[in-house]
Structure 1
Amino acid sequence: MNIRQFFARPTLWGALVLFSLAVAGCGPAPLGTGWPSLSLLNNVCDGKTTKTIVVAYNDRIVQVNPADGTSVVLKDGNCVNRPPDDAGKLRAWDFRPTGNKQFFVAPLPLDDGKMLAISYDQRLYTIDTTLAQATVADGRTIDGYSGHAVTDMVASADFIYVALNAKDVVALDRNTLDVKWKAPTDHGVWAKPLLVDDTLYFNSLDHFLYAVDAKTGAQKWKLDLQGAVTGTPLFANGKLYIGSFARQLFEISTDGKILNQKPTSDWVWGTPVIDNGILYVGDLGGSLYAFDTANNLQQVWVQKVAAGAIRATPLIVGDVIIVGARDQKLYWLKRTDGTPINGSDGKPLVRELTAPILSDLLLIQPGDGVDIPKPYIVVSTTSTTQLLVAYTLDNGESKWSYNFQ
């Protein structure tokens, strides 16, 4: 499949999303083109650690309390709440740079209460996690590069690795953010790179999986995966696992050899997950697969779960699989065979939201800076009026909802 074929299937939602991003290359992407990027952040203020949800979407980055879905209150340098606004309302932690910037990428936590954000037009912002202020208000560019950023960054002790949607991966000096080296590709890199020891792995729309030296960028090998690749590789048991738009799942050695490959019914976008030796992955046709990594990726089961695409990585907790899909539904499934788990009413435990679920799910555990009585699952949608929803893991009870103000 060549790059033209990659965009040639208008009946699939993936092609539409990718095309909308691609044509936005001449200017800002339309708001709502992508999906929220979520991450957890440990905030330390006045010696106390609290965990918050960081959401990057559309024109802003916000922090949300995972216990009740309220906006994190903006504080000053002494960890005291900032004065209320003219309406007497406490000010929320909300980062919105000037210039109509947009965000598809979760900020990267740094040292000393800072995080690094990158906007769609590749401007870098070093943001104070307490004050919601950037060190340089207008940010800075990646020297010598123009284009867009649509996937998360990765950091080592010395470098920050940035994948570019036009082509190439660049390594920035962690302190100065100057470009130290680049690893060339023929097409865009739309998945977060994977750092394992001294090797950086990443894939591209040019069909190749690359392995480069993490310090120099020198290529160690590259491997043709027969189709465009948009998911981050999974490293487990000393091997790499990844799916592609060739409708294939691959098991790959760290020296670049395909050990096993198995077909899927449709394109694989997301990153697989492995639990107790079983690999789980969804495809854009709404099917969920289980493969045995100890037995040459022998298929354990496959289930048609959703009426829409499964982009997000399945969440595995004990004997339960949680899957979000583009059909706006969240599914509770049995890990043993992928069949539905029934709720107290005897019907399959499914929760329907108001917009597609495209982002990975978050599991929030009690303790460790979060005051909740039991584990919560936090799911995001593409709608700013129902951006985040928290459900209890055990029975799917809705606990809170968050929307942009």
Structure 2
Amino acid sequence: MKPKKLLIVISILMIGALLSGCGGGRVIGATSWPGVSIDEDTIFVAYNTEVYALKEADGSLIWRYPEEPNARRAFFAAPAYAEGLLLAGDYANSLTALSPDTAAIKWAFNGAKSRYVGSPLLLDDMILAPNADHNLYALDLQGALKWKFEARQALWSQPISDGDVVYLASMDHYLYALALNDGSLKWESDMGGSIVGSPTLADGVLYVGTIGSEVVAVDAETGKDLWRFATTGEVWAQPVVHDGVVFFGDLRGTLYGLDAKTGAQFWKVENAGQVIGAAGILENGVVFATEQSGLKAFGFDGSPLWSLLINGKLYGSPKITDQYILVGVNEGDAIVVAVDFGGNQRWAFQPEKK
């Protein structure tokens, strides 16, 4: 699929749940892709109208939420877990805190005016929830609003924080740095293209991919560019930094390893398959989820390790546990697949229809 066409398809998938809610029936067909998160031996998956908790060992179902799915309430963002809370944002403008053990509702925040596309970030005493209504909402752990910050356009990615500053990427091309305690603006920097994925912070430097076909390194203190690297295609994925190397893929199917300090290219692999999500870091290399070519693992030097073709489309980021690589699947036989570190599928989960 051509990159521009893929961008259109992905955007349609993202808003599909919102539009499908105009009818009274249950959502028919895929309207998003599975958002996967992990906590020790439990896997949480948000997909279409439900959130699931699975056992990591075999993918068996622990619970599903809600008991009665509502076509007007679809989930896209991967659930976020911390401090005994599981947070699930939906396309009906609600952020719901659940018990991670039972899915019992603890509270809900209904102050946003649009859908949650990016996952919330849970800190020690604060929740940072980005919303498509342009606002970042800062809540306490009981769901009360502490402050909010309004960007120029929609927020589709999870913010990151170093404990004092919040770094926020927006579809308006801007990267923002905010004071964590009150949301006041410290600096803003125009990246030259919409930012869909989260930034990455490593050693005082922010790394950002843009739809303007660039990866940009930014001084986290000042917001000034340190270097820019032009890619062959649009970069939706969050760059990942490991041992001084920046790993990412683009929508033309090119994978990269760059010098984190200078932006110099160490290696690239072409025609690997279009990449939407961040790379996963393994002990011996990196693994990418590609739209139609499955999982592909490479050594840290770009040499191929293994590949696994999975039935369906992979739009999310592979999640790494002690045992498995987990990936959400769209339009396939399952919504989550677990793969061992040698590239062998171990289990798959497909929910029973209600």
TM-score by length of 1: 0.79
- Equivalent residue in structure 2 for 1:393, among 336, 341, 345: 341
Could you tell me how far apart the structure 2 residues matched to 1:379 and 1:115 are?
A: 19
**Which residue number in structure 2 is paired with residue 205 of structure 1?**
171
**Which residue number in structure 2 is paired with residue 312 of structure 1?**
277
Could you tell me how far apart the structure 2 residues matched to 1:95 and 1:26 are?
A: 21
**Deviation of 1:291 (Å):** 0.6
**Deviation of 1:33 (Å):** 2.3
**Deviation of 1:183 (Å):** 1.1
- 1:222 is paired with a residue whose SS is strand
Could you tell me how far apart the structure 2 residues matched to 1:95 and 1:25 are?
A: 19
- Equivalent residue in structure 2 for 1:109, among 72, 76, 81: 81
Could you tell me how far apart the structure 2 residues matched to 1:224 and 1:160 are?
A: 26
Matching residue's letter, 1:205: M
Going from structure 1 to structure 2, the CA distance change for 1:335 and 1:19 (only over 3 Å counts) comes to same
What aligned pairs does 1:137-152 form with structure 2 within 5 A after superposition? 139-142=108-111, 145-152=112-119
Larger radius of gyration: 1
Going from structure 1 to structure 2, the CA distance change for 1:109 and 1:291 (only over 3 Å counts) comes to same
**Which residue number in structure 2 is paired with residue 13 of structure 1?**
6
Moved more, 321-330 or 211-220: 321-330
Going from structure 1 to structure 2, the CA distance change for 1:102 and 1:318 (only over 3 Å counts) comes to same
**Deviation of 1:190 (Å):** 0.5
**Deviation of 1:159 (Å):** 2.2
What aligned pairs does 1:162-177 form with structure 2 within 5 A after superposition? 162-175=129-142, 177=143
- Equivalent residue in structure 1 for 2:65, among 70, 88, 95: 95
Identity level (%): 26
Could you tell me how far apart the structure 2 residues matched to 1:20 and 1:63 are?
A: 23
Could you tell me how far apart the structure 2 residues matched to 1:218 and 1:147 are?
A: 22
State how many pairs are aligned.
Answer: 343
Could you tell me how far apart the structure 2 residues matched to 1:380 and 1:197 are?
A: 30
Could you tell me how far apart the structure 2 residues matched to 1:117 and 1:390 are?
A: 22
Could you tell me how far apart the structure 1 residues matched to 2:331 and 2:265 are?
A: 36
- Equivalent residue in structure 2 for 1:36, among 27, 34, 50: 34
Residue 67 (1) aligns with residue 33 (2): no
- Deviation readout 1:329-360 (Å, 9 max, x if unpaired): 11122321x2323xxxxxxx321111111111
**Which residue number in structure 1 is paired with residue 199 of structure 2?**
233
**Which residue number in structure 2 is paired with residue 262 of structure 1?**
229
Gaps of 5+ in 2: none
Say whether the 8 Å CA contact 2:288–2:317 is kept in structure 1. no
TM-score by length of 2: 0.90
- 2:304 is paired with a residue whose SS is coil
Going from structure 1 to structure 2, the CA distance change for 1:357 and 1:24 (only over 3 Å counts) comes to closer
**Deviation of 1:274 (Å):** 1.4
**Which residue number in structure 1 is paired with residue 43 of structure 2?**
53
